[in-house]
Amino acid sequence: MTRVAGVAPTAARRRRVGECHRDNAEALAAIVRRHGWPAADVVGTAASTAALMILLHAPDLDFRLRCRDLIARAAADGRCPAVHLAYIADHCAVDLGEPQFYGTRIDPATLRPYPVRRPQTLDERRRDVGLGTLQEQMRALRLSG
């Protein structure tokens, strides 16, 4: 099937994507219950990153918060990339209506970052986890859009 860029999602497509996110999150939750967070030192960086991508789209905020805490411990122990914590921490903060820490979440309505905690030190925090500056991120978004 050929994918067409710019096609507006139909209600059926949105529903299928939502079902996929829910099903993936349920599978990840089963893994986390049985084995803990799939940290890079155990499953490899690619698989740990894939788990993070599933988590970022998981509909259950409580599950994301629990995993955020597991990822924080794994990152502190060097068992997964610190950037994983940056992404999940920002997702949870925005969903809780709080300022984000690393500026990874962009508001699709304004194409600007959601509010950021202590913006004067943002780029330092970003650098600490392996991200470029916010200006670099915004430039890359403009070029890709």
pLDDT tens digit sequence for 18-74: 999 999 999 999 999 999 999 999 999 999 999 999 999 999 999 999 999 999 999
Q: What angle do CA 142, 135, 130 make, to 5 degrees?
A: 110
Query: What does the pLDDT average to over 13-19?
Result: 92
**Residue 27, H or E segment:** helix 11-35
Reading the block at residue 17, the tokens are 């994507």
**pLDDT score of 15 more than 80:** yes
Dihedral angle of Cα 32, 20, 46, 43, to the nearest 10 degrees: 30
Dihedral angle of Cα 121, 98, 133, 125, to the nearest 10 degrees: 50
Q: Over the chain, what is the mean pLDDT? A: 92
Q: What is the pTM of this model?
A: 0.88
- More confident site: 122 or 1: 122
